[in-house]
Amino acid sequence: MKIMQEQAFARAIELKGEEDDPTGIVQKALEDLQKAVDERLKKLEAKGENPGADAELKKLEERLKAVETKANRPSGGGNNDDPTEEAKAEKKAFGTYLRRGSAVPEEELKALTVSNDEQGGYLAPAEMSTEFIRDLVEYSPVRSVASVRNIGSPSVKYPKRTGITNAQWEGEGEDSEESTTTFGQLEIPARKLMTFVDISNELLADSGGTAEQEVRLALAEDFGKKEGTAFVNGTGAGQPEGLMTHADIQHTLNGHATNLAADPLITLMYALPAAYRNSGTWMMNGTTLATVRKLKDGDGRYLWQPSYQAGQPETLLGRPVIEAVDMPDIESGSFPILYGDFSAYRIVDRLAMSILVNPYLLATKGLTRIHATRRVGGRVMQAARFRKLKMATS
């Protein structure tokens, strides 16, 4: 019996090299084994040998019939009795791959691909990085040189003396003349800067908190830029009063409408009283700064003095310079340079930037609203401490 089984298996292995269909290989091996069993039964019946061996052969025959029945069943998975040409090609390619491995012809190996690259690409989404790409936000650094105070009221009032006494030289026995001193007050109100951002709840959840952090950062950068712009060019109506819009700040003429010269800068600087001049700072934008760095005195030496010590600012005529992006460029009629004692510009903070997250207002739309509010004021306290350069001849 074992010899017959080994012959059947050997026949199956032999057929592997001749057939491409694995089902056909099994079917032929079973048929050969069935024929061998039938021949053996006939010989035993004719000779009348051991009935125990006869029973054993009949059991083997029944088992072979059961295996043959299973092999002849159609594959599962629904109505698949009549496979398509594509299914037949894949089945054939799979059988070839099992027998030959990497030696499968390329045209048959392609039949094993269930989906193309484009479909596979959608099933493997790109990785979401936690790093955000942000554009640079520039703002004028007036706050770094101005005097800053915190207040607990909507505004703050400063008493102001508007004049001095009128003393006179008198002779012996003469009566002194009466003098009057006038006073006033200067009020700096805290102006309100506010906005809100609506962001989807899905984005908030999927980003793991990163999206909300970016919104907060964007608000802080926006508020900082708007503040810096107002401290330079604010109108004072609904916003802080800017340095360049204060009507009482005097100016020095450049002498030319477009060409910046070195002498007017010296004139401007020494037009201020010594007490203010010696604590002054230059303010201009980057374009003007590039022009100023090229200016030379009569001996060909640059007026600009680079800093050679860490922590020390670069200077123009011995005084530090700050670069304010909101200052105007050099053009006819403009005021591209401001010099003065910036402690005379007062910034009052009533409320630091406040963030309020409201997930309920637009909950039915799946949105969360983020409110941002800032209350800050600014005003020139003493116009005599500043002076501007005007690009004009008169």
Residues 107 and 234 in one domain: no
Q: Strands of 147-150's sheet, edge to edge?
A: 147-150, 345-358, 367-380, 191-200
**Distance from C-alpha of 80 to C-alpha of 73, rounded to nearest angstrom:** 11
Share of the chain above pLDDT 70, in %: 66
pLDDT for res 139? 78
Measuring CA to CA, which residue among 343, 150, 324, 334 is closest to residue 225?
A: 324
Task: Give the residue-averaged pLDDT of 293-305.
Answer: 81
pLDDT for res 17? 47
Does residue 152 carry a pLDDT above 80?
Answer: yes
Residues 33 and 153 in one domain: no
Residues 14 and 156 in one domain: no
Higher-confidence position of 47 and 351: 351
CATH number, domain of 385, equals: 3.30.2400.10
H or E segment at 233?
Answer: helix 210-233
Four-CA torsion 27, 31, 33, 36, nearest 10 degrees: -170
Four-CA torsion 125, 127, 131, 137, nearest 10 degrees: -20
pLDDT for res 18? 47
- The answer to whether residue 378 is domain-embedded is yes
Q: Strands of 304-305's sheet, edge to edge?
A: 250-253, 386-390, 337-340, 281-284, 319-323, 315-316, 304-305
What ranges in 48-161 are assigned the alpha helix state H?
51-71, 85-100, 106-109, 117-123
Q: What is the mean pLDDT of the chain?
A: 78
Summarised one tens digit per residue, pLDDT across range 46-72 is 665 555 556 666 666 676 666 666 656
Residues 43 and 151 in one domain: no
Domain span at residue 358 reads 142-166+179-390
How far the first Cα of the chain sits from its last, in Å, is: 125
Summarised one tens digit per residue, pLDDT across range 247-289 is 999 999 999 999 998 899 999 999 999 989 999 999 999 999 9
pLDDT for res 332? 92
Residues 116 and 190 in one domain: no
Task: Give the residue-averaged pLDDT of 292-311.
Answer: 78
Residues 313 and 248 in one domain: yes
Nearest-5° Cα angle at 31, 27 to 33:
115
Task: Give the residue-averaged pLDDT of 37-50.
Answer: 65
Number of structural domains, the chain? 2
Summarised one tens digit per residue, pLDDT across range 179-188 is 888 888 889 9
pLDDT for res 315? 86
Written as one letter, the residue type at 202 is E
- The answer to whether residue 351 is domain-embedded is yes
Q: Give the SS3 label for residue 380.
A: strand
pLDDT for res 347? 94
Confidence of residue 138 (pLDDT cuts 50, 70, 90): confident
Residues 229 and 363 in one domain: yes
Does residue 113 carry a pLDDT above 50?
Answer: no
Residues 24 and 101 in one domain: yes
- Whether this prediction's pTM lies above 0.95 is answered by no
Higher-confidence position of 163 and 291: 291
Output the DSSP codes for 9-57.
HHHHHHHHTT-S-HHHHHHHHHHHHHHHHHHHHHHHHHHT--HHHHHHH
Confidence of residue 213 (pLDDT cuts 50, 70, 90): confident
Q: What are phi and psi of 317, to 5 degrees?
A: 55, 35
Residues 345 and 236 in one domain: yes
Summarised one tens digit per residue, pLDDT across range 321-344 is 999 999 999 999 999 999 999 999
Residues 149 and 97 in one domain: no
Task: Return the bridge partners of 191, or none.
Answer: 376
H or E segment at 281?
Answer: strand 281-284
For residue 51, give Cα distances in angstroms to 10, 193, 348.
29, 107, 116
Q: Give the SS3 label for residue 106.
A: helix
pLDDT for res 265? 92
Contact 234, 245 (CB under 8 A): yes
User: Of 30-39, 112-121, 164-173, which has the strongest mean pLDDT?
Assistant: 164-173
